[in-house]
Amino acid sequence: MKDDVQSPEERSAGLKGMGCSRKRVEDVRFTQGKGNCVDDIKLDGMLFGYFVRSPYAHAKVVSINTEEALKVPGVLAVLTAKDLEPLGLHWMPTLAGDKQMVLADGKVLFQWQEVACVVATDRYAAADGVEAVEVEYEELPVLTDPFEALKSDVVLREDLAGQTEGAHGPGNTITTSSPGSRGTRTRPNRCWRRPTWWPRRWSITTAPIPVRWRHAAAWPRWTR
For 20-34, the pLDDT digits (tens) are 677 778 788 888 888
In degrees rounded to 5, what are phi and psi of residue 155?
-95, 120
CB 119 within 8 A of CB 133: no
Distance, CA of 210 to CA of 96 (rounded, Å): 11
How far, CA to CA in Å, does 117 sit from each of 38, 43, 72, 188? 20, 20, 14, 16
Distance, CA of 119 to CA of 93 (rounded, Å): 23
CB 190 within 8 A of CB 204: yes
CATH topology of domain 43-142: Aldehyde Oxidoreductase; domain 3 (3.90.1170)
Domain ranges of the chain: 43-142, 192-224
Q: For 106-154, what is the HEC assignment?
A: CEECCCCCEEEEEEECCHHHHHHHHHHCEEEEEECCCCCCHHHHHHCCC
pTM > 0.75: yes or no: no
Q: Which amino acid is at 87?
A: L
- Which tens digits make up the pLDDT trace of 119-143? 999 999 999 999 999 999 999 988 8
Distance, CA of 94 to CA of 90 (rounded, Å): 13
Distance, CA of 161 to CA of 198 (rounded, Å): 39
For the segment 145-167, the average pLDDT, to the nearest whole number, is: 67
Convert 37-69 to b/e letters by CB count within 10 Å (16 or more is b): eeeeeeeeeebbbbbbbbebbbbebeebebeeb
pLDDT band at 78 (very low <50, low <70, confident <90, very high): very high
- Which tens digits make up the pLDDT trace of 35-72? 877 777 778 888 899 999 999 999 999 999 999 999 99
* Bridge partners for 201 per DSSP: 193
pLDDT band at 167 (very low <50, low <70, confident <90, very high): very low
3-state secondary structure at position 183: helix
3-state secondary structure at position 200: strand
Query: Among residues 141, 122, 118, which one has the least CA distance to residue 130?
Result: 118
- Sort 21 into a burial class: Cβ within 10 Å, 0-12 / 13-18 / 19+: exposed
